[in-house]
Amino acid sequence: MRLCPVRSSPPSPCIRRRSGLGHAAVIGGFAMSLLGATAEALSPPEVFESVAPLVAVLDVLDGDGRLVGRSSATRLAGGRFVSACEVLESGSAYALTLAAGSLPGRIVARDRERNLCLLEAAGAEGAAGRRAPPPAPGSRVFAVSNAAGLGVGISEGVLSGVRHFPGGDYIQFTAPISPGSEGGALVDATGALIGIVDYRRRDGQNVNFASLAAWIDEIEARSAAAADQLQRFDEATTLSRASRWAELDTLASGWARKEPGNGDAWGFVGIAARGLKQREREQEAWRSMWRIHPDRPAVGVSLGAALLEAGKPKEALEVARSLVLAHQEFAPAHWVLGQSLRGLGQFQEAEAAYRRALELDPLQISAYQGLAELAGQRGDHLTQISLWSRLAGLYPEQLWPRYALVQAYLAAGKPERAHAVLARLPEAAKDSAVTWYWRGVVESRLARPEAAADAFRAALARRFPEVGWCWLGIGLAMAEMRRFPEAIGALEAAREANPDEDSFAYPLGGALKEGGRPVEALALFEKLAAKAPGEARNWQLVGGTLTALDRRAEAIPALERSLQIKANQPEVWRVLIESLQILARRADAMNAWQRLRAIDEKAADQAWTESMLPAGEARR
């Protein structure tokens, strides 16, 4: 007996009898054909034609409606979609785009452990696709998703197997995916849904993972069971977005004490510590979270970034190398590697790491930034400007490449070009806190301090998150206009906003000194010198302020100590020579002058003219 090929419709009775087969055998064979009928394999274009209408482009928007992320969502029945939770957590609103247009969506259930979220979009009713269990290893599979944010497309590979993780089983497959693919559909050769792409679990060359499609039916029940956890998570997220670091620290620390094995709790401890500028505590929080979730490379990236910010590039390099070894195709791991290598002065290796990150993820903006900063370090401002100009053109709706382009023009000494970039921003962006901040910086570089101060005030009024930098800009602008009482007030506010950052103390000390309060400036500089006695700048400032107070005998040891740490300071030598001459220590002055001449002959000639010649010294 021969049965005709079967598609999804009932089989046609193309039955031919063989000798010896009775009527019962024919009927039995026909019944078996109905029971064993399966959908026929489709060609890749046919798979795309059947599945693409079920995959939406998912835009993640912030509270102001700005795009902050773009991924995929797979249609279910009843106007519902499933996507990856991780990408949704950065947004406040969502838009789902299908062939018929774009619709607003809302989250209705979350299974954060499995990284699966349900969304609902009114007006998106339609039938869901067929589902099936994963086929045998080696079977053809297709990923249909919004890969790299370029629109819904298709890629082909094979199913490698079903792998076991602490959170459950995941489908491993080789079809290429990119950022933006998360939430897309993984389908078998018949177009049946077998999984939801989970980009965060990429682990190496062609080693990609998807959640089981069968888990979709469990999302709502698991969401309800985790209601208390989700409420805590939402409270912490709200505090984090509002930069209410002390309250977040209280919530997250209590959560971590109560549930020391909860990774989310430690993640928020790390975020709070970062906001409070508690660097050691932040590092320990990320280490704790990484111990709980060693399979999440993003946690290792956060640890590496924290170590870099704390000035620990060697430790960051160890983290980066372990990340790259375990997660070869995770682009942020290569970014951390590049940052660590750059911090250690290994610039060629750093550039190679950044370029590898971009090969893996063309949207890895931090890698572009690393390349641009490397170009700036070697004085190649044209390359730096070119990189950011290219990104600004590729993503015209995004603001970050334009702000970076502003910084590149400023680094190149072209503030007028930076001003032009800000002038061409979309109207809605021109009144944002970030735009006003950069306008303040540009006005400062254009030597327009009054306009700069006004711009920084406007940024503060619009709640620019780094208030210390705004106050610093106001203070420097006031000092430039010799309005020292206002300058000192602003610089004190800057330091109060960043009490652990010594960089804010130096301009305050300078304003106090120039503003007629040198004794207070001296006390501030002496504290800095006691805190960092190996910094030549600190002793130079102590000595210079003592000189301004006409306490030259006390100034000389501070100036000499600064020069012991860093000899190539012609201006410090000049002040030292002048002080020694005034105190009639002419032999010491001559010795200092000879040492300056060995370092900088032109500066030595100037010092001779100003200090030695009026005293009638004979040049040797």
pLDDT (mean) for 576-604:
93
Q: Which residues contact 210 (CB under 8 A, 6 or more apart)?
A: 143, 170, 171, 173, 186, 194, 195, 196, 197, 198
Q: Are 142 and 54 in contact (CB under 8 A)?
A: no
Q: Cα–Cα distance between 51 and 143 in angstroms, integer? A: 10
Enumerate the β-bridge partners of residue 268: none
What percent of the chain has pLDDT above 90? 73
DSSP-derived secondary structure for 192-255: -EEEEE-GGG--BTTBEEEEEGGGGGGHHHHHHHTHHHHHHHHHHHHHHHTT-HHHHHHHHHHH
Gap between the Cα atoms of 483 and 449, Å rounded = 11
Q: What is residue 206's predicted lDDT score, i.e. its pLDDT?
A: 67
Backbone angles phi, psi at 22, to 5 degrees: -90, 180
The answer for residues whose C-beta is within 8 angstroms of residue 577's C-beta and 6 or more apart is 589, 592, 593, 596, 607, 611, 612
User: Global pTM?
Assistant: 0.62
Distance, CA of 475 to CA of 486 (rounded, Å)? 7
Instruction: State the Cα–Cα distance between residues 137 and 114, nearest whole angstrom.
Output: 22
Helix (H) or strand (E) holding 322: helix 313-326
> Is a pLDDT exceeding 80 seen at residue 439?
yes
| Average pLDDT value over all residues in the chain | 88
Distances, alpha carbon 263 to alpha carbons 172, 258, 316, 455, in Å: 24, 12, 21, 41
Pick from 321, 391, 396: which is nearest to 358 by CA?
A: 391
What tens digit of pLDDT does each residue of 128-165 get? 889 999 999 999 999 999 987 788 999 999 999 999 87
The band of 209, judged by pLDDT with boundaries at 50, 70 and 90, is very high
Query: What's the alpha-carbon Rg for the chain, to the nearest Å?
Result: 33
With 80 as the cut, is the pLDDT of residue 301 above it? yes
Q: What is the mean pLDDT of residues 548-563?
A: 96
Angle at 363 between CA 359 and CA 365, to 5 degrees: 100
Write down the H helix ranges in 13-99.
23-35, 44-51, 85-88
Q: How far apart are CA 285 and CA 271, in angstroms?
A: 9
Burial class of residue 454 in the structure, from the number of CB atoms within 10 Å of its CB (0-12 exposed, 13-18 middle, 19+ buried): middle
Which residue do the tokens 């290792």 mark? 300
| pLDDT range class, residue 199, cuts 50, 70, 90 | confident
Look at 177 and 126; give whichever has higher pLDDT: 177
- The yes-or-no verdict on residue 360 having pLDDT over 90 is no
- Residue 612 DSSP code: I
The bridge status of strand 101-111 relative to strand 93-98 is: antiparallel
261 alpha-carbon distance from chain centroid? 26
- Alpha helix positions (H), 498-600: 505-514, 518-531, 536-548, 552-565, 570-582, 586-599
Give me the mean pLDDT over the 330-347 stretch. Answer: 94
User: Dihedral sign, CA of 212, 214, 220, 226?
Assistant: negative
% of the chain residues with pLDDT over 70:
91
Which H helix or E strand runs over 172?
strand 168-173
Residue 183 contacts residue 197 (beta carbons within 8 Å): yes
b/e for 18-57, b at 16 or more Cβ within 10 A?
eeeeeeeebeeeeeebeeeeeeeebeeeebbebbbbbbbb
**Phi, psi values for residue 55, rounded to 5°:** -115, 125
Res 18: pLDDT? 32
3-class DSSP assignment, residue 122: coil
**d(C-alpha 469, C-alpha 18), whole Å:** 89
The residue whose two tokens read 């999984």 is 195
Q: What is the pLDDT of residues 253-279, one digit of tens each?
A: 999 999 999 999 999 999 999 999 999
- Does 597 score more than 80 pLDDT? yes
Of the listed ranges 98-107, 194-203, 306-315, 451-460, the least confidently predicted one is: 194-203
Question: Which pair of structure tokens corresponds to residue 541?
Answer: 């400032």
Helix 400-411 / helix 381-394 crossing angle, nearest 10 deg: 160
Beta bridge mates, 284: none
For each of the domains in the chain, give its residue range(s) and CATH number, in order of start: 1-37 (no CATH), 44-222 (2.40.10.120), 431-505 (1.25.40.10), 506-615 (1.25.40.10)
pLDDT of 455 strictly over 50: yes
Q: What is the pLDDT of residue 57?
A: 95
**Confidence at residue 619, expressed as pLDDT on a 0 to 100 scale:** 52
Reported as a pLDDT band with limits 50, 70 and 90, residue 314 is very high
Spatial separation of the C-alpha atoms in residues 4 and 482, rounded to whole Å:
94
* Type of residue found at 72: S
What is the C-alpha separation between 557 and 107, in angstroms, rounded? 67
- For strands 116-120 and 101-111, give the pairing: antiparallel
Asked if residue 249 lies in contact with residue 269, where contact means CB atoms within 8 angstroms, the answer is: yes
Is 524 a residue whose pLDDT tops 90?
A: yes
**What is the pLDDT averaged over residues 49-61?**
94
**Average pLDDT value for residue range 409-435:** 95
Three-class SS state of 11: coil
Could you tell me if 275 and 255 are in contact, meaning their C-beta atoms sit under 8 angstroms apart? no
Contact 474, 456 (CB under 8 A): yes
The b/e string for 252-288 (b: 16+ C-beta within 10 A; e otherwise) is bbebbeeeeebbbbbbbbbbbbbbeebbebbbbbbbb
Query: 222-244, pLDDT tens digit by residue?
Result: 999 999 999 999 999 999 989 99
Q: Are 115 and 86 in contact (CB under 8 A)?
A: yes
User: Does position 13 have pLDDT exceeding 50, yes or no?
Assistant: no
- pLDDT at site 32: 33
* Distance from C-alpha of 409 to C-alpha of 389, rounded to nearest angstrom: 10
- The CA distance from 352 to 39, in Å, is 47
- Whose CA is closest to 600, among 574, 618, 581? 574
Beta-strand runs (E) in 388-463: none
Mean predicted confidence (pLDDT) in 31-35: 34
More confident residue, 541 or 129: 541
Coil, strand, or helix at residue 455? helix
CB 168 within 8 A of CB 186: no
- Residues 105-119 have pLDDT tens digits of 999 999 998 999 999
Output the pLDDT for position 29.
Answer: 35
